[in-house]
């Protein structure tokens, strides 16, 4: 059932960024109750710059999710073909056989073939899975696809019924929710209520949202279901086209979304998805959530290797340079913190992310911007006597160098001084 639209409607350019937040705000659940949903093996590997991992590498990625403490994940798109369906079934059996505490989601369109493929994974592996069934709902998507609202509603009803018959949880994923009008969303939400849908995913599919728009959409949606006595669990799925995926996802988490989606290192189409590792670090630091940051670092390193992507030197928490400093005033503070013997103070005097929680340490470099305390710190940490002659020799060299001095150069100068 199609509706051919020859002229774009005035709603074509709607965006929740332009909707003021309604007052009073409904009470939101404790943000710490939300869990993160790993999309690496679905959205992440769609990126054109990412190498598709082998099934053994996918299984190792799943193991890392569990080690880190990720509680739910989208593990593939079984409807894309027999090989994909078999891989998804292997992943499902792997999780079941190892007793990994991961709620299993599999993606598909609200299309009979895709729903059947997801149900097939459940039957093949003998496990309960969730069907993350997506359909585009924004006016611009409807216009381009020649879809009408009746067709969208019918697809949702048929897909939800099919999942119910197979004891598969149906999760309604609304693509481009951020650009869908309240009028359309209200009608779709009514269908979801009639179908007994318990979870809805709000999507910023093209990364169009700002945090205020994210908040408006979530608050309006929460109120809509609550007013009808049918609260649902909300997911948030964000992309990074405007560089706001992390901020939007943290907003969603704070406003009570039960699952917030992300990919390792933010891999994904175009500018990528929200970075689940950055979400984990922030969630852990703000709410004391029980994530293993050492395992997270190993996960990032492994994923970068098997997916064929680089971790930028300045990438938050995981980059090579994020715990390095060469400024003299910074080095002085770190040296004083070290002398006080308090690791937490040393970790945070010039960093908001504790290096030791990631198995790393503050690194004080020596270069043209350094002062004497940079060298005192280096000598102290490497077990050398702190002598004025050594400090002068190293500092004089550093002031004329165009790059930081490496350990070998410093040791050679110390040998010359002695």
Long-range contacts of 150-153 (CB under 8 A, 24+ apart): 150/1, 151/1, 151/2, 151/3, 152/188, 153/187, 153/188, 153/191
Give tens-digit pLDDT for 48-106.
999 999 999 999 999 999 999 999 999 999 999 999 999 999 999 999 999 999 999 99
- 22 falls in which pLDDT band (50, 70, 90)? low
- 389 falls in which pLDDT band (50, 70, 90)? very high
- 15 falls in which pLDDT band (50, 70, 90)? confident
Sign of CA dihedral 194, 220, 133, 72: negative
Residues forming beta bridges with residue 234, ordered by sequence position: 200
Average pLDDT over residues 151-179: 97
pTM of the model: 0.91
Most confident by average pLDDT, 6-10, 277-281, 366-370: 277-281
pLDDT of residue 175: 98
Sign of CA dihedral 168, 169, 170, 172: negative
pLDDT of residue 402: 93
Q: What percent of the chain has pLDDT over 90?
A: 83
Q: What is the mean pLDDT of the chain?
A: 92
Cα separation, 245 vs 195, in Å, equals 31
Inform me whether the pLDDT recorded for 140 exceeds 60.
yes
pLDDT of residue 198: 97
Residue 170 tokens read as 């149906």
In the block, tokens 């309240």 appear at 182
Inform me whether the pLDDT recorded for 410 exceeds 90.
yes
Identify the CA nearest to 43 among candidates 320, 235, 297, 328: 235
- 319 falls in which pLDDT band (50, 70, 90)? very high
Rounded (5°) CA angle 402-360-44: 95
Inform me whether the pLDDT recorded for 3 exceeds 90.
no
Inform me whether the pLDDT recorded for 174 exceeds 50.
yes
Domains along the chain?
10-307 (3.20.20.70), 324-417 (no CATH)
pLDDT of residue 47: 92
- 23 falls in which pLDDT band (50, 70, 90)? low
Residue 320 tokens read as 């090579």
Give tens-digit pLDDT for 121-137.
999 999 999 999 999 99
Give tens-digit pLDDT for 239-298.
999 999 999 999 999 999 999 999 999 999 999 999 999 999 998 888 777 899 999 999
Give tens-digit pLDDT for 213-234.
999 999 999 999 999 999 999 9
- 416 falls in which pLDDT band (50, 70, 90)? confident
- 34 falls in which pLDDT band (50, 70, 90)? low
pLDDT of residue 21: 66
- 20 falls in which pLDDT band (50, 70, 90)? confident
Q: What percent of the chain has pLDDT over 70?
A: 95
Average pLDDT over residues 31-57: 89
């Amino acid at each position: 059932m199609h509706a051919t639209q020859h002229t774009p409607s005035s709603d074509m350019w709607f965006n929740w960024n332009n909707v003021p937040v309604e007052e009073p705000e409904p009470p939101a659940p404790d943000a710490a109750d939300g869990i993160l949903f790993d999309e690496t093996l679905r959205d992440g590997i769609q990126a054109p710059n990412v190498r598709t991992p082998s099934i053994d590498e996918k299984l190792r990625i799943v193991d890392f999710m569990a080690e880190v403490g990720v509680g739910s994940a989208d593990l593939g798109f079984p409807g894309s073909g027999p090989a994909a369906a078999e891989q998804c079934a292997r992943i499902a059996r792997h999780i079941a056989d190892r007793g990994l505490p991961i709620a299993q989601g599999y993606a598909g369109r609200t299309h009979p073939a895709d729903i059947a493929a997801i149900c097939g994974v459940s039957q093949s592996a003998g496990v309960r899975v969730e069907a993350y069934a997506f359909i585009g709902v924004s006016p611009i998507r409807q216009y381009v696809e020649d879809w009408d609202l009746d067709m969208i509603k019918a697809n949702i009803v048929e897909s939800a019924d099919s999942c119910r018959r197979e004891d598969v949880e149906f999760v309604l994923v609304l693509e481009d929710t951020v650009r869908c009008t309240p009028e359309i969303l209200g009608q779709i939400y009514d269908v979801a209520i009639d179908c007994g849908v318990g979870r809805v995913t709000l999507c910023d599919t093209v990364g169009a949202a700002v945090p205020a728009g994210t908040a408006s959409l979530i608050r309006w949606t929460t109120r809509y279901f609550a007013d009808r006595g049918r609260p649902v669990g909300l997911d948030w799925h964000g992309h990074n086209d405007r560089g706001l995926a992390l901020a939007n996802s943290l907003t969603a988490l704070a406003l009570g979304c039960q699952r917030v989606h992300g990919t390792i290192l933010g891999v994904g189409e175009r500018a990528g998805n929200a970075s689940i590792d950055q979400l984990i670090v922030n969630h852990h630091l703000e709410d004391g959530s029980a994530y293993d940051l050492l395992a997270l670092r190993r996960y990032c390193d492994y994923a970068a290797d098997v997916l064929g992507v680089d971790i930028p030197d300045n990438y938050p928490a995981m980059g090579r340079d994020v715990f390095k400093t060469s400024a003299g005033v910074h080095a002085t503070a770190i040296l004083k913190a070290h002398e006080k013997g308090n690791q937490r103070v040393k970790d945070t005097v010039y960093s908001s992310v504790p290096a030791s929680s990631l198995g790393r340490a503050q690194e004080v470099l020596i270069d043209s911007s350094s002062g004497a305390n940079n060298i005192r710190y280096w000598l102290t940490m490497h077990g050398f006597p702190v002598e004025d002659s050594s400090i002068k020799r190293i500092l004089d060299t550093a002031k004329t160098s165009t790059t930081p001095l490496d350990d070998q150069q410093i040791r050679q100068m110390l040998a010359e001084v002695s």
